[in-house]
């Protein structure tokens, strides 16, 4: 792991002091003179594994106390931040496990959204995105974990999903 410059330490400590672990590039504008310097700061912090790119505009700050650069966050919180808290829900075995309908610990978090599809590995979470409709998203329930809201498929719908898998 590479060393961190004074400016990078200033940015990381400022974000961490404000408890802004999920942030946008606009949050570090006050540390950069122009867009190019901001771009270089973000690029170098990603290369040094001090921040993780979540989507086009959002990043996750790996705290200073993670000396080796390895850190974890709950997959439901990561899913909510990637989708900006809208047009998604967590389904599949992750939802069934959340409602205690199965004892199986999910190896991945299935995220049903209208915007994207595919697979992603962010921090230690394996996320699989599936396409769905807005009508199905309306059936999701908002819950809270670690002080953060997220959307999960309702208990009855999860029960129906589990029965359809058997």
Give me the CATH number covering residue 12.
Answer: 1.10.10
Please tell me the distance from the alpha carbon of residue 73 to that of residue 123, in angstroms, as a whole number: 7
Nearest Cα neighbor of 113 from 160, 149, 153 is 153
Please tell me the distance from the alpha carbon of residue 74 to that of residue 83, in angstroms, as a whole number: 15
Tokens 């942030």 correspond to 23
What's the whole-model pTM score? 0.79
Question: Could you tell me if 24 and 103 lie in one domain?
Answer: no
Tell me the pLDDT band of 147, cut-offs 50, 70 and 90: confident
Query: pLDDT of 76-120, one tens digit each?
Result: 999 998 998 889 999 999 999 999 999 888 999 999 999 888 999
Question: Could you tell me if 11 and 92 lie in one domain?
Answer: no
Q: Please give the pLDDT value at position 68.
A: 61
Q: How far is CA 82 from CA 1, 19, 132, 133, in A?
A: 26, 18, 16, 18
Pairing of strands 58-61, 22-24: antiparallel
| DSSP per-residue codes, 41-56 | HHHHHHHTTSEEE-SS
Domain that holds residue 119: 75-165
Question: Could you tell me if 52 and 100 lie in one domain?
Answer: no
Exposed, middle or buried by CB within 10 Å (0-12, 13-18, 19+), for 36?
Answer: exposed
Q: Please give the pLDDT value at position 3.
A: 79
CB count in 10 Å sphere of residue 104: 10
Residue 15 within any structural domain of the chain: yes
- Start-end of H helices in 23-154: 35-47, 75-82, 92-98, 134-137
pLDDT at 1 over 50: no
Query: pLDDT of 20-78, one tens digit each?
Result: 889 998 888 889 899 999 999 999 999 988 889 988 889 998 877 766 655 677 899 99
Question: Could you tell me if 54 and 81 lie in one domain?
Answer: no
Which H/E stretch holds residue 129?
A: strand 125-131
The residue-averaged pLDDT of 112-140 equals: 91
Helices (H) and strands (E) in the chain, counts: 6, 9
């Amino acid at each position: 792991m590479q060393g961190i410059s004074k400016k990078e330490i200033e940015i990381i400590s400022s974000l961490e002091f404000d408890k802004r672990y999920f942030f946008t590039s606009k949050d570090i504008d006050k540390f950069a003179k122009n867009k190019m310097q901001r771009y270089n700061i973000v690029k170098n912090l990603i290369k040094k594994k001090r921040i993780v790119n979540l989507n086009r505009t959002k990043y996750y700050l790996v705290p200073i106390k993670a000396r080796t650069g390895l850190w974890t966050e709950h997959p439901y919180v990561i899913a909510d931040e990637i989708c900006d808290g809208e047009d998604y829900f967590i389904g599949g075995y992750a939802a069934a496990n959340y409602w205690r309908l199965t004892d199986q610990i999910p190896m991945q978090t299935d995220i049903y959204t209208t915007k994207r599809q595919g697979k992603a590995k962010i921090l230690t979470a394996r996320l699989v995105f599936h396409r769905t409709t807005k009508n199905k998203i309306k059936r999701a329930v908002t819950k809270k974990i670690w002080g953060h809201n997220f959307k999960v498929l309702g208990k009855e719908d999860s029960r129906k999903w589990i029965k359809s898998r058997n």
